[in-house]
Amino acid sequence: MSKRETLKSMALAGMIVVGFVAQSKTAHAENLQTLTVAGGCFWCVEADFEKVRGVKEAVSGFTGGTVANPTYNQVTSGGTGHYEAVQITFDADVVSRDALLDLFFRSVDPTDAGGQFCDRGESYRTAIFASTSAEGRAASAAKAKAAAELGQAVVTPILGASEFYPADAYHQDYYKGRQLVITRFGPKRQASAYKAYREACGRDARVKELWGNDAPFVNS
């Protein structure tokens, strides 16, 4: 091998090493964790938490039930035991689990055991799903804090995590979708239909009634 070829090989090897180092730094730049919660309509929970700095993704789906790969109609008809839930992926170096749990309680009515706002039934109940004992303790602390601040009993259960099934593509990012849908308000783009539904359901009005200026997504 000539001196020139040797230098080229050395330079190439150096670039590969630099690339691996850079890739490694990028891979470890984020401390990604997940939090799964049920807060009534998953469109609304997803829309709220995707606004939070440090949240990388919020996926609408179903968890806590007994049927594998349930459909939306199966869950909302009742009988499967699933909750409409959202799995939140976040960078724990940017936003803490404790902060997200506080935001969650202040974005729902945790005193309502029968559903949320206009949506009634088991699939619309609130819940927090914990994968570890540490996550369970964090959720319990947030629940106690919410109860103390409200001065009321908080009925949101803290449950062991179970299989999470993402809902179909139609339900993902519904709050900003452009697909034309038929609603009780007439034909609308998904984003407009979502806004009309959220207002008619009374979600923000009830959350503000409960939490006042501590309702983060209503007052943001």
Catalytic amino acids? Answer: 41
Q: Are 105 and 152 in contact (CB under 8 A)?
A: no
* d(C-alpha 218, C-alpha 74), whole Å: 31
Helices (H), 50-202: 72-77, 97-105, 133-150, 190-201
Per DSSP (E only), the strands in the chain are 32-39, 55-63, 83-91, 115-116, 119-120, 126-130, 158-160, 165-166, 180-183, 186-189
